[in-house]
Structure 1
Amino acid sequence: MRAIARRAARVQSFSLTTGALNAYVERVNIGKEATDLILNDIADRILRGVETVQGGVHEALFEPVIRLGVTGLSRSGKTVFITSLVANLLDRGRMPQFGPATAITAAYLQPQPDDTVPRFDYEAHLSALTSPEPHWPESTRAVSELRLSFKVRPAGLLGGLTGQKTVHLDIVDYPGEWLLDLGLMEKSFAEWSAEALQAARDRAEGEAFLAVLDAADPSAKQDEPTAKSLAQSFTAYLQSARAAGYSDCTPGRFLLPGELDGSPVLTFAPLPAGEAPRGSLHREFERRFDAYKREVVKPFFRDHFSRIDRQVVLVDALGAIHSGPKAVEDLRRTMADILLAFRPGRVGRIMSLLGQHKVEKILFAATKADHIHHNQHPRLTAIMEALVRDARDRADFAGASTQAMSLAALRATVEETMEHQGQSLDVVRGMTEGGKQAAFYPGELPEDPAHILSPARKGAERWLDAQYEIMKFRPARLTLRPGEGPPHIRLDRAAEFLIGDKL
């Protein structure tokens, strides 16, 4: 509590300083408008600090809040993961590996605490998955939030004396593409341009954009038609690269612009090094790049990402393997870059009282495990562990707890064994996008992850000894008994790792 008193004293001292600052700015003849801006900024920071302390004290002492961030790159299954997780935490009949399941006496959805963030549309997404003609819900396109509250019966001898406690789970859903943008904060326009242009040259998808860039003169006077042409061509390249399985497609808002679509802050592109006279296209693109970091990336980190203390990163590892060695190596580097955006480690009780947050636990999960037979799940998990080895080592060193696993938030297939050319094949069967039942054999994943990662690190164009196929399945029709959530694979183990200790 002494730390809280010291923090309050600093806040009071800070407020007294505003009078001295006001006298100073009058002496140096700063205009009234500038003075008001400075004082308003200081007042805003003081208020934010006081609210943070108050919120931290209330949460730590009365109703603890777990802030769980859910992210992943496009098509990794974030929306389905959150929907199935919430449904299975409300009805825990399929959660045998979730330790606190028997201690939870009630679970219910509440209004989210932040009125300025869209609510995760859980009911609509669950309806899409459980309707008579089930279909996949709309994917994540912006930040959203959902609060799930638990009444928990404490364990141990004192459980009967203390009574039930309330614990809130705030789930924050945000696009992984936006998370990658945090890495731009420490890069200059020249550094980012060099990396982005090199990536475009190494990929067939970048040819059209490079042709448009070659026809432009970055040192010429800036004009908006040229700027739009370059930005649109660069965006088309990023979309094609993402569709081809590449992960490092930044800036992320070019792919998911939201309300910023068409704005100047999204109208720039990487340019080769060269002269940048005042008023030139190069100088304007550099200014817009800095504005993107300041007006888009920094507020996202401040308002959403910096408050998260548990994190799950969903990865479509099977999709990357299907796309080839280059996509796998790109995914490995992206996973390492994603961890740099986190602040892994543990926060002491006093720091948590003051509203300080670090990501204490990170789960790296390979999704769509139902697309392969269960006897290959250990191999997929081993590949996932190898893919994120660099990222996990850094997090473990910083004091965070990490885990890698393979899972399916919603099981869309069943398993069978078929005879094919005198051999027994372990297959999965499900409803294809075309509406037909089909059995599918994706190929054997290697027992040694090095057989995947070594060709990827060496820049191989394709797999030498095998091809790994994928198939898109529709969600299966569900018949849920009372008390059961949707069928899944290891979602209970994921929940146990992420929030079990807090309940």
Structure 2
Amino acid sequence: MDDRNLRLGGSLFTAIGDEIDGLRRGLTDLATGMVRDRTRLAITGLRRSGKTVLTTCLAHHLLEPSGLPFLSVVAENRLDATRLVPLRDLPPFPAEAAIAGLSAAEPVWPKPTDRLSGLSIEILYRTGNRIGRLIDPTRRHFIEIVDYPGEWLLDLPLLEHDFRTFSAQAMTLADRPIRQPAAAGWRALLAGLDPTAPGDAALERRLADAYSTYLHTCQEEMGLSFIQPGRFVDRTRVLDEELVTFCPLPLASGPFPPGSIGARFEARFERYRDEIVKEFYRSNFSRFDRQIVLVDLLTALNRGPDHFIDVQESIATVVRSFRYGSGSILTNWLTPRIDRLVFAATKADHIAPSQHAAMKQLLEIMVAPSSRHTRFSGAPHEVLAVAALRSTDVVRTELHGQVLSCLKGRLVETGQETVLFPGELPPDLPEPDDWNSGRFRFRDFAPRRLPRGRNGASSHIRLDQLLEAAIGDRLA
């Protein structure tokens, strides 16, 4: 049997093992009675897309639901009570501390996520179904949200790779003009390397460090999103340093000799994939019911066409890592699949309301490759322009006899309250002249104070519509 057949056989047995593992978890949930009344919501987003802010604001508004007029269970006055409860299988998401920070006299954004955590909100509500009211009028439902570092998200596609396909893809990425300067040091080390040579611990460490430096530069200095493996830019959570002591290699046609640098890197890649990525996926990502995919469209436009394409490719790659499709109640209990998702462009408060339709349309075009995949799997989707917390006010100004919609807010870069014209979005993919003209200069604003009580609806943009699209039917 050749290597290709071995890999195909291994993939088949891995897939069967994953299905058996999902069935085992589903039966356990069914036996404990926990799956009947819960929705595990995947808030999916690349680094700095706003996952932590959205999670915080969703928790706040569900706990103080007067600010959700377009969430049906609130609009129909069927919501009786909500409370924050521990999520039984994860460390707690710091919801109360994050809400307090946004509610302070001088509000601050929540700290970026650096670990896995979760929260659960218990909702006591009255069913809107006439027959259901006769049988069981008052019900409970648990909305579970998992938070995680955005870097970990791009590791999920590694489950479909072996070391050779991972190396080939990484080399292709490093050859792109935008990445070549960042990759120069690592590629220089590879130039004199013989992967079939005997293992050398010191050289292997230098290669892994050079690759990690390249990834850090791509992420921190260049703002690129497609970073693999994700733990290479945050090793603090990796207990076994050997798991991140490898890098992509130029590949020969045959297998690596036992004990060679290539063979050692290949073995470490497989351990990283199986012990870190697969376990993370099985424990968390394989169990989601609904999904919200966040996209920072404005930052992608600001940074130029290469970054825009990078974000688009990253989203499409990540979406393909999830299970989608509808099924019977029993099959969804046993092998959960995402049966509804929402793509959301964040920072809708950073542009004028008149531009929200263009923002939605541009996002629809950007995520078209991803949405085609989910539609064929039988999972419907919606697209929205949202802001979890509004950071600006809209003001009207007149310039040369023309009335303009401007924004008033405190700029992050200066700390000063400013009124400015935010610019306009194209309703279609940008043309070359759009990129070259410096058209996209969207600014970042500091947070407004998160209001408590009955003024919540004015503090966000379409957060209630986002919830209705994602989970409204579960509270019917």
**TM-score, length basis structure 1:** 0.83
1:77 maps onto 2:50 in alignment? yes
Answer yes or no: is the 8 Å Cα contact 1:56–1:352 preserved in 2. no
Q: Distance in 1 between matches of 2:291 and 2:21?
A: 28
CA contact (8 A) 1:103 1:154 kept: yes
Most deviating of 470-479 and 481-490:
481-490
- Equivalence map 1:90-105=2 (5 Å): 90-101=63-74, 102-105=77-80
Q: Quick one: structure 1 residues 311 and 391, their matched pair in 2 at CA, closer, same or farther if it must change by over 3 Å?
A: same
Q: Provide the C-alpha distance between the structure 2 equivalents of 1:363 and 1:125, rounded to a whole number of angstroms.
A: 24
Identity over aligned pairs, percent: 35
Q: What secondary structure is seen at the aligned counterpart in 2 of 1:313?
A: strand
Counterpart of 1:140 (choices 80, 98, 113) is 113
Amino acid paired to 1:180: L
Please state whether the residue corresponding to 2:65 is helix, strand or coil. coil
2:247 to 254, 269, 288: 269
Structure 1 pair 483–377 and aligned structure 2 pair: CA distance change class (3 A): closer
Equivalent residue for 1:256?
234
Change over 3 Å in CA distance of 1:92–1:225 after alignment to 2: same
CA 1:268–1:50: 2 relative to 1, 3 Å: closer
Residue by residue over 1:405-435, the C-alpha shift from the partner in whole angstroms, topping out at 9 and shown as x without a partner, is 1111011111223455776543222112232
Q: Counterparts of 1:208-247 in structure 2 under 5 Å?
A: 208-243=185-220, 244-247=222-225
- The 5 Å alignment of 1:306-325 reads 306-325=286-305
- Of the structure 1 ranges 182-191 and 274-283, higher mean CA displacement relative to structure 2 is found in 274-283
8 Å Cα contact 1:366-1:381 kept in structure 2: yes
Q: Partners in 2 of 1:48 and 1:419 — Cα distance?
A: 60
Two-structure CA RMSD over aligned residues (Å): 2.5
Name the counterpart of 1:205. Answer: 182
Once the two structures are TM-superposed, the CA of residue 374 in structure 1 deviates from its matched residue by 0.9
Aligned residues of 1:91 and 1:485 also touching (Cα < 8 A): no
Q: Structure 2 counterpart of 1:66, which letter?
A: T
Indicate the SS of the match to 1:451.
coil
Q: 1:71 to 1:49 in 2, by over 3 A?
A: closer
Question: Which residue identity is paired with 1:103?
Answer: R
What amino acid does structure 2 have at the position aligned with 1:408?
Answer: A
Is 1:196 the counterpart of 2:142 in the alignment?
no
Conserved? CA contact 2:451–2:459, under 8 Å: no
Rg larger in structure: 1
Distance 1:224 1:381, change over 3 A: same
Report the secondary structure of 2:81's partner residue: strand
For 1:228 and 1:472, the matched residues in 2 are separated by 39
Q: Does 1:168 align with 2:148?
A: no
Native 8 Å contact 2:389 2:450 kept in 1: no
- Please report how far the alpha carbon of residue 401 of structure 1 lies from its aligned counterpart in structure 2 after TM superposition: 1.4
CA contact (8 A) 1:92 1:483 kept: no
Q: Please give the secondary structure, in 2, of the residue aligned with 1:463.
A: helix
Question: Secondary structure at 2:67's aligned position in 1?
Answer: coil
Task: State the 1:140 CA deviation.
Answer: 1.7
CA separation of 1:105/1:242 partners in 2, compared to 1, >3 Å: closer, same or farther? same
Question: Matched residues in 1 for 2:353 and 2:265: separation?
Answer: 50
Query: Structure 1: which 5+ runs fail to align?
Result: 1-44
Question: 1:210/1:416 Cα in 2 relative to 1: closer, same or farther (>3 Å)?
Answer: farther
1:107 equivalent among 82, 92, 106: 82
Tell whether the 8 Å contact from 2:126 to 2:139 is kept in structure 1 after alignment.
yes
In the alignment, the residues of structure 2 paired with residue 356 and residue 233 of structure 1 have an alpha-carbon distance, to the nearest angstrom, of: 41
1:398 is aligned to 377
By how many angstroms is 1:286 displaced? 1.1
Q: Distance in 2 between the 1:489 and 1:261 partners?
A: 41
Q: C-alpha deviations, 1:108-151, integer Å up to 9, x for none? A: 1112121xx21111011111111122111111222211010011
Which residue is 1:37 aligned to?
A: none
DSSP 3-state at the match of 1:178: helix
Q: What SS class does the counterpart of residue 467 from structure 2 fall into? A: helix
AA in 1 matched with 2:109: W
Alpha-carbon contact 1:142-1:256 (below 8 Å) kept: no
| TM-score with structure 2 setting the length | 0.87
**Residue aligning to 2:15:** none
Amino acid at match of 2:58: L
Q: Is 1:287 the counterpart of 2:267 in the alignment?
A: yes
State the match for 2:446 in structure 1.
Answer: 474
User: For residues 440 and 237 of structure 1, do their structure 2 counterparts lie closer, same or farther at Cα, with a shift above 3 Å needed?
Assistant: farther
* Letter of the 1:82 counterpart: T
SS in 2 for 1:489: coil
Match of 2:467 in 1: 495
Deviations 1:210-248 (A, max 9, x none): 233335443333222222222222122222222423222
